[in-house]
A and B are shown apart, each in its own frame.
Chain A
Amino acid sequence: MFKFNNINLDIWTETYGISFYLTYLSRWPDLCCVQEAPNGHMMGYVIGKAEGHGQDWHGHVTALTVAPEYRRLSLARKMMSLLEMVSDETYKGFFVDLYVRCTNSVAISMYEGLGYSVYRRVREYYGSLGLGRASKDEEDAFDMRKPLSRDPHRRSVRANGREFVVSAHDVS
């Protein structure tokens, strides 16, 4: 946390209180990972957790971020695959899911490239970035999922997820 300024000063990355980070580290340290450059600078990090009941038991990507100067190097891809691997092998989850702003097309296409698909659209999940924007799309999130080896029949995903809308109150 003393070294993450180059990442967290970027607007897309939120800086949380101590308890946020320590909650994740004290419960799912193996779903949290930092990538460092050879010179010791932080390049990016991922924070995840395992949650849900029964068939819904899954890995969740809470935060995934890469410093501006280390973008376009497939770092996110590598961190995602680590998280998927741990969710699969250690936590035996059925799928991995994540939320992304509907306007963040770069991220969405990256996740699609990694095998994720939209499961549903969550209304007003994010705070507004300010007035005078395409605020609907900005505040809504796509819940994207990718099935793991415990779900060989792909029960955790569906094809028409973009049309499936829920409100933010209905999700945890």
Chain B
Amino acid sequence: MSTALDRQIRPIYDALDTQSNKSAVLACNKVLKKQPNNVLVKALKALALVRLQKVEESLLLADEVLAKKPTDDGVLTAMMHVLRGLGRHSDIVAMFETAYKQHPQNEDLGTQTFFANVRVGNWKAAQQVATKMHKQFQDDRYLYWSIFSAVLQANDMATPEALRPVLLKLALRLISSGNTPSYFNPDRFYVHLLILRELEMYDDAATLLNHEIGQKICETSLVCDEIRRDIMKLKGACKQEGEQAKVKILEKKDRNWLEFLSLLDATFWDIASTSEPASEDVKAAVTEEIAKTRKVFSEAATVDGLKDRSGLLALLELEKRTKSHGLWTDACEIRMMAENYFSQFGDKACCYEDLLPYLAFEGEELEQWTSFLNSRKSFDTPDTLQRSINVYKLLRYNLTSAELTPELELARAQEYIKVYLDGLKFGVNLPDTELQPADDFAILVGHAYVSLWKLTGEESHLQSAAATLEYASARSKQSYRIRLLLIRIYHLLGAPALALDHYRLMNVKQVQTDTLSHLILSRAAMWSLAPLGDITYMSECMEASQIYMSNSTETAEFIARAFSTERYSQIIDFIEFEDRLDNSLQRDLMKVEHVRMRVAHEPLNAELVDMELIELKFIFDRIHHDNRDFEVIPNYQPRCQPSFNEQTLPLKPPGAGWLSAYLKVYIRAFQEASDLDETLPLRERLVKKRQEEIDDLSEDEKLFYEYTLALSEWVGPYHDYVRPPPSALLAEAAKSNDLKPGHPLKSMAAAANGSATNGHSKKDEEPPAVKESPELIPKFFDDMKSRFDAVISGTALPSELLHIVATTQEAYLLFALETVRFKPNSIIKQYKFGQLAQSFKDLRVKASSILNEMSTVLAKLGEEVATPDGRKAFVQASSSIQDSSGFDHDFVLGVAKKTTDARKQTYEGIAKGLAKVVKNHS
């Protein structure tokens, strides 16, 4: 580049670097005036334009540049960003391929072409490029690129079954053609092992692994060691592995749990590896092995003492497996081991989770275990406090249903409160960034009160739980575990705003939004005040969805980078990671929630209908991964009870079935309301109910589902008749050229009028005969009304009430969506739909009056709850926590005020929202 030109181009790059895209465009125009054919400047302008969201202009420029078949590095790089911004990933591939073809000696272009294919997961083409590069440049690195591309192609779901071994064999052949053996570096060695494993050539793999270098690599590379274990297991070399593990445990003091598992597997191999019942001889032999293994583990435990818990845990696992294989010798063995473990590690926080799998004691064993634990309570030092926490948790775990009476649970709750308040003394001087050592007692209080609520159905216990946990949260500001419990309890109590506060304080971000946003966004539409213009939950959905954007822009890039650093062992993980986020269940659940709220928030026009129709159809056929983390919610409920998570879910969590049902509901409704041509023939599948969908729905949602099916079956034929033909739409779209592609119409009413006046409406067949509305439709509203009345007069929780209200409102909105097309008088006249319009009107009046009634009742409830009397009731309900302890009245009153105010806000907001929805669509 000449210096003069460089001087002109420099400011463009500077502007782009500082995101001053407008001035970048100006700078480009300046140069283009003098040199209208400068490809680089055109590419840079296209980049600035795409960043300014000027898609159409950018598209035109990009096509001009591509037509010139650029090979210049600067142009290619700029165009890569442009095309990525435009979502034209396959054009990136084509661009580099064209460039590489023109300059086959250019190694860099080859690399870029390879990466472009890698980014889009086009393994076949990637493999071909890499092979070509290897021939040309004779670098083993390209050979391995081609080998691993073949492996990935074999792994790809889209590759036919029969082709897979062919590809793997090809990869294996290529490995032996390399200049250097695969153990040149650990990642190449890993690729070699992987291929041998997939081809089930275990003996060949073992030869490699037993080689001196192979062993050395496995010592330092965890990924190679992992695949080594896998291969040995598949090879059936469990006993050999066990022997090695024994050496490692005893001589090298290796405390990798996998070594202990290897030895355990080897010990029981003779019984576990066959399905035949074991003979007495085999049993005797295994019993002998058990004794030997026990000695190894005991020795490890003795050597380690307090330094490592693996030995003692392995002993427990050994006894557990012995029992499960029917080789039981002494009934008290597991309990003794557990006691032994507790004596050593009882003052560590991990004790409870470590012991849990081994504690299903009954009868005498349980009695002994209980009395052992009871003798271990003490509260003198922080260490003994932690031990006592473990004691209380472990005792609670083994409570039987006979011991779970309301009286006993209440006594337990009060005891937990007492020890909690006592234990606070150990944390008085801690900075506020530290956790209080006694936190887990407060968590136990929460558990006991939730269990009390489940036993008695009295809401007051949830209020007590909230008050105690709020107290604890104020003392241990960083305890996310306390917040998790509060989030659940506040939802049950109809105070979603408080749940949201706690969620936000947990500072959930990045990939965590995928795994944790379910805490506040599961069925969020039922809490949302979207009809009033409050978009809190809608923006939470958008924010939590950011991670999927960054996944689709970033992750593929790292797959390419892992190729360039030859970290093959990471690539398969990266691909899986990308897929799990891309097809995350939570992602699409949030999408559906967003749509449900949007429909309540915005006018039902063509823009909304067409856009959401396209987007929902796009996700309809995804195979989802459920990445939601429920495990993180603490659970210390007795084993005979459901977990805290299960107990406190307002409704069954929505799963793949739920998603499928709601996608069908909305796609159907949008499709009918839309004028867009049906490109994918989905209709038959949309009306088909599946059992897994029904199983995932709440009772009210099941009614709703039936209602929507009946509605669209009834109204569908009229939509089909009235919908303007595609040719009319095209003419309409051509008339208004300021419209974006994908949104051919501004509003449906305009389209309907337009088609009527343009005379496109002449149809050959007669309009479908007008039928009475199916009984199910008015019945649905009646049913919901009686459900509502029943819940109001009963003791159900606010969350249940709000679910009924939200479902009824949603049904009303769908009705509006399905009938908006038939609103204009011109349509009614033209198609003689007078009777149909009357049916719609009758139904609308009926549904409106029911919604209005619900609104009035809710508003009244809201007023009642936040009065001094309501608060007093709350405080009185929590009297049990005041009787027993130093909780002061004012604190409980404060929590009462917050909770009742939040509930009032929700009730009133939803009541007003209902009225608004009715008004908007009447």
**Interface residues, chain A, with chain B CB atoms under 8 Å away:** 1-3, 5-6, 8-12, 15-19, 22-23, 25-27, 29-30, 33, 36-39, 41, 43, 68-74, 78, 85-86, 89-90, 129
Q: Is B911 an interface residue (CB 8 A)?
A: no
Q: How far is the CA of A82 from the CA of B720 in the complex (A)?
A: 68
Residues from 295 to 311 in B contacting A, C-beta threshold 8 Å: 307-309
Q: Are B632 and A6 in contact (CB under 8 A)?
A: yes
Give B578 Cβ to nearest chain A Cβ, in Å: 9
Q: Are B567 and A18 in contact (CB under 8 A)?
A: no
Identify B511's interface contact among A15, A38, A70, A86, CB under 8 A.
A15
Q: Are A18 and B186 in contact (CB under 8 A)?
A: no
Q: Are A78 and B511 in contact (CB under 8 A)?
A: no
13 contacting pairs across A/B (C-beta < 8 A)? A1-B511, A1-B577, A2-B580, A5-B512, A18-B551, A18-B554, A18-B558, A26-B562, A27-B565, A68-B349, A69-B349, A69-B350, A70-B350
Q: Is B122 an interface residue (CB 8 A)?
A: no
Q: How far is the CA of A38 from the CA of B310 in the complex (A)?
A: 9
Q: How far is the CA of A43 from the CA of B508 in the complex (A)?
A: 19
Q: Is B515 an interface residue (CB 8 A)?
A: yes
Identify B570's interface contact among A11, A26, A68, A90, CB under 8 A.
A26
Identify A33's interface contact among B222, B308, B348, B357, CB under 8 A.
B222
Q: How far is the CA of A22 from the CA of B560 in the complex (A)?
A: 11
Q: How far is the CA of A115 from the CA of B520 in the complex (A)?
A: 46
Residues from 178 to 213 in B contacting A, C-beta threshold 8 Å: 186
Q: How far is the CA of A39 from the CA of B308 in the complex (A)?
A: 16
Residue of B307, B350, B567, B627 contacting most chain A CB atoms (<10 Å): B350
Binary flags per residue of B607-628, CB closer than 8 Å to A gives 1, else 0: 0000000000000000000010
Q: Which residues of A contact B515 (CB under 8 A)?
A: 2, 5
- Beyond A2-B511, A19-B558, A68-B435, whether A39 also contacts B357 by CB under 8 A is yes
Give A156 Cβ to nearest chain B Cβ, in Å: 22
Q: Which residues of A contact B514 (CB under 8 A)?
A: 2
- Beyond A3-B629, A8-B512, whether A22 also contacts B554 by CB under 8 A is yes
Give B464 Cβ to nearest chain A Cβ, in Å: 25
**Interface residues, chain B, with chain A CB atoms under 8 Å away:** 186, 220-223, 255, 257, 307-309, 313, 317, 348-350, 353-354, 356-357, 433, 435, 478, 480, 506-512, 514-516, 547, 550-551, 554-555, 558, 561-562, 565, 567, 569-570, 573-574, 577, 580, 627, 629, 631-632
Q: Which residues of A contact B629 (CB under 8 A)?
A: 2-3, 5
Give B103 Cβ to nearest chain A Cβ, in Å: 28
Q: Which residues of A contact B508 (CB under 8 A)?
A: 9
Q: Are A26 and B554 in contact (CB under 8 A)?
A: no
Identify A38's interface contact among B257, B433, B555, CB under 8 A.
B257
9 A-B pairs with least C-beta separation = A22-B558, A9-B480, A26-B562, A69-B349, A5-B632, A1-B511, A2-B627, A11-B478, A26-B561
**Interface residue SS majority, chain B:** helix
Q: How far is the CA of A16 from the CA of B570 in the complex (A)?
A: 19
Q: Are B480 and A41 in contact (CB under 8 A)?
A: no
Give A10 Cβ to nearest chain B Cβ, in Å: 7
Q: Are B222 and A30 in contact (CB under 8 A)?
A: yes
Q: Which residues of A contact B309 (CB under 8 A)?
A: 73
Q: Which residues of A contact B356 (CB under 8 A)?
A: 39
- Beyond A26-B561, A26-B562, A89-B220, whether A73 also contacts B567 by CB under 8 A is no
Give A104 Cβ to nearest chain B Cβ, in Å: 10
Q: Are B567 and A15 in contact (CB under 8 A)?
A: no
Beyond A1-B511, A15-B509, A19-B558, 9 additional pairs, beta carbon < 8 A: A2-B629, A10-B478, A11-B507, A18-B554, A25-B562, A26-B558, A26-B561, A30-B220, A41-B353
Q: Are B308 and A74 in contact (CB under 8 A)?
A: yes
Give B515 Cβ to nearest chain A Cβ, in Å: 6
Give A159 Cβ to nearest chain B Cβ, in Å: 30
Q: Which residues of A contact B547 (CB under 8 A)?
A: 18
- Beyond A22-B574, A86-B220, whether A29 also contacts B348 by CB under 8 A is no
Give B104 Cβ to nearest chain A Cβ, in Å: 28
Looking across the interface, which residue of chain A has its beta carbon closest to that of B558? Answer: A22
Give A108 Cβ to nearest chain B Cβ, in Å: 16
Q: Which residues of A contact B511 (CB under 8 A)?
A: 1-2, 15, 18
- Beyond A5-B516, A15-B512, A29-B223, whether A129 also contacts B554 by CB under 8 A is no
Looking across the interface, which residue of chain A has its beta carbon closest to that of B186? Answer: A30
Looking across the interface, which residue of chain B has its beta carbon closest to that of A41? Answer: B353
Give B548 Cβ to nearest chain A Cβ, in Å: 10
Q: How far is the CA of A72 from the CA of B350 in the complex (A)?
A: 9
